[in-house]
Amino acid sequence: MTPEIVAGGGIDRSDIQDNKYSAKKGIFEQVLGDPGNLELNFLLFKKQLAENNIKGATATLERVLLTDPNSKLARVMYAQLKLRMGNRTEGIRNLDQIAQDETASDDMRKNAASLRDGVKRAEQMNTRSMPRKKFVSRLKLGGGLAENALGSSEETQITFFDNDFLNSVPNIDESFTTAQLDVTYTPDLGLGKNEFLQFYVSNQIKDFKDLNRYDLTLTTLGMSYNKGLGENNLKTLGLSASVTDINLSWHNYATIYNVAVNLKLPLTETFSVIPVVTATRSVFDLHPDISSNKGNTGWTYRVGLGAEYRKDTYFVSVQPSLTELDKNTRLNNYDQEQLALIAGRKFEQILISGRFNRSTRDYEQADPFISSLRKRKDQISEYSASLFWTPKALQQNRMVPQLELGVFHKKIKSTLPNFSKETTDLTVSWSWVF
């Protein structure tokens, strides 16, 4: 700036002194003097970032966004900063919003989308190259309340051998405790980066306070195999097999064999279709009709076609399916149509998920204990919801703790009054993964 000559031949040095003072002042003091100046705030942000002052840089960008909430540049830098701080969920969410913001410039949207996709690709590469732990265990302890624990019918009269009787099964609520231990084993068989083979064993115990006759134990042995297919391994083939023993009061009730095949076919980055085929064989050891069917209900075949929409913070899945059983048995001889709706929302420390099932069962034969003239048809509605909370301060611990709250509600409306009932389980549990 050229000094101005004042009256008397002197020079006005005020501008020079002001410039020297501004140069001597730190950028932080200048921002304090003019907090709404975006240019000064961006200069301060760059300085703080160079000094690795992450908290200060975050505060500066938040101040910029308060001054100009529509600043696309500030939003992109804020998203990058969140990723640098390890907050993947918020960082990806911000980049995704900018990539879809039609008011942003094309370059800004492409830049945000490129950053978002780059983070995802890097995570996939890190996951594939990361050595898998051979053994992973999960211990879960909890308890809850079972409403209508005995599954009493809603009707006052029930039918048995074509005669009507008063329903004498009480509708009572019963508290219970639960314990579950899961162990998974991933062998080192030299499989490719896009292949995954795992074996697992699970043991679950549900112990009622007084209704000891209904104490339940489930023991499952199983394996699963997944393999990426196609270009970039975007398609996924899944195979699984398991054997489950069901014990009531420590007496074996049934053994269930299950085999399933599914194929995940992504149509877009977020939308996939998933065809599923399942075969199940149930063998009952204790049942009133054991003498005639030798405890064997034959095979169950289920075919389904699911559709899934998944983003970084939430997902929605619809899974219609048809189930058909062998008709040469006298137990569970029904066809079933089912529609399942599953959804979930993920936050930084909390995951909320819910499931709704609506199914209709048409029994091929009449119930042998009621009447050969009265066919049975059931409509089953199931609702379940869970909330999982993992404290952020403990997420990096070797033993990762997790709190779970759950509710499961089941309602059956049947053409035969014996089977119309409504039950609810409320549970709270704490688990550790190590």
CATH number at residue 74: 1.25.40.10
Range of the domain at 75: 4-127
pTM of the predicted model over 0.85: no
Q: Where residue 205 falls among pLDDT bands split at 50, 70, 90?
A: very high
Q: For residue 248, what pLDDT is reported?
A: 83
140 lies in the same domain as 263: yes
Backbone φ and ψ of 345, nearest 5° = -135, 130
Share of the chain above pLDDT 70, in %: 77
420, with CB counted inside 10 A (0-12, 13-18, 19+), is middle
Last residue of a domain, one of 112, 127, 142: 127
Residues 258 and 385 in one domain: yes
280 and 369 in a single domain? The answer is yes
Under the banding of pLDDT at 50, 70 and 90, the label for residue 424 is very high
122 and 228 housed in the same domain: no
Q: Of 179-183, 364-368, 370-374, which has the strongest mean pLDDT?
A: 179-183
Question: Residue 9's pLDDT band (boundaries 50, 70, 90)?
Answer: very low
Regarding whether 217 and 93 lie in a shared domain, the answer is no
In tens, the pLDDT along 286-318 reads 544 444 444 556 778 899 999 999 887 889 999
The reply to whether 160 and 297 lie within a common domain is yes
The verdict on 213 and 259 lying in the same domain is: yes
Q: How confident is the model at residue 327 (pLDDT cuts 50, 70, 90)?
A: low
Listed in sequence order, the residues at least 6 apart from 380 whose beta carbon sits closer than 8 Å to its beta carbon are: 357, 358, 359, 360, 361, 410, 411, 412
DSSP line for 82-93: HHHTT-HHHHHH
Query: Could you give the CA distance from residue 34 to residue 17 in angstroms, rounded to a whole number?
Result: 19
**pLDDT tens digits, 210-266:** 888 888 899 999 999 998 887 666 788 999 999 999 888 766 778 889 999 999 998
Is 306 in the same domain as 173? yes
Mean pLDDT of the chain: 78
Domain boundary among 127, 151, 178: 127
Please give the Cα distance from 378 to 358 (Å, whole number).
11
Separation CA 227–CA 381 (nearest Å) = 34
Asked whether residue 72 falls in the same domain as residue 204, the answer is no
Q: Is 261:275 a contact under the CB 8 Å cutoff?
A: no
Answer for the pair 214, 248: CB distance below 8 angstroms, yes or no: yes
Amino acid of residue 342? I
Cβ-Cβ contacts under 8 Å for 214 (sequence gap 6 or more): 149, 150, 208, 248, 249
CATH assignment at residue 208? 2.40.160.40
Domain boundary residue, one of 106, 127, 148 = 127
**What would the DSSP string read from start to end of 128-165?**
HHSPPPSEEEEEEEEEEEEETTT--BSSSEEEETTEEE
Q: Whose CA is closest to 218, among 242, 202, 241, 200?
A: 202
172 or 164, which is more confident? 172
Q: How does residue 20 score in pLDDT terms, banded at 50, 70 and 90?
A: very low
Same domain, 66 and 205: no
Same domain for 163 and 82: no
Distance CA 106, CA 99 (A): 9
Q: How many domains does the chain have?
A: 2
Alpha-carbon gap, residue 153 to 174, rounded angstroms? 17
Compare 396 and 412 and report the one with higher pLDDT: 412
Q: What's the pLDDT score for residue 14? A: 43
Residues 287 and 378 in one domain: yes
Instruction: Please measure the distance between the N-terminal and C-terminal CA atoms of the chain and give it in whole angstroms.
Output: 68
- pLDDT for the residue numbered 268: 84
Residue 160 — very low, low, confident or very high, per pLDDT cuts 50/70/90?
A: low
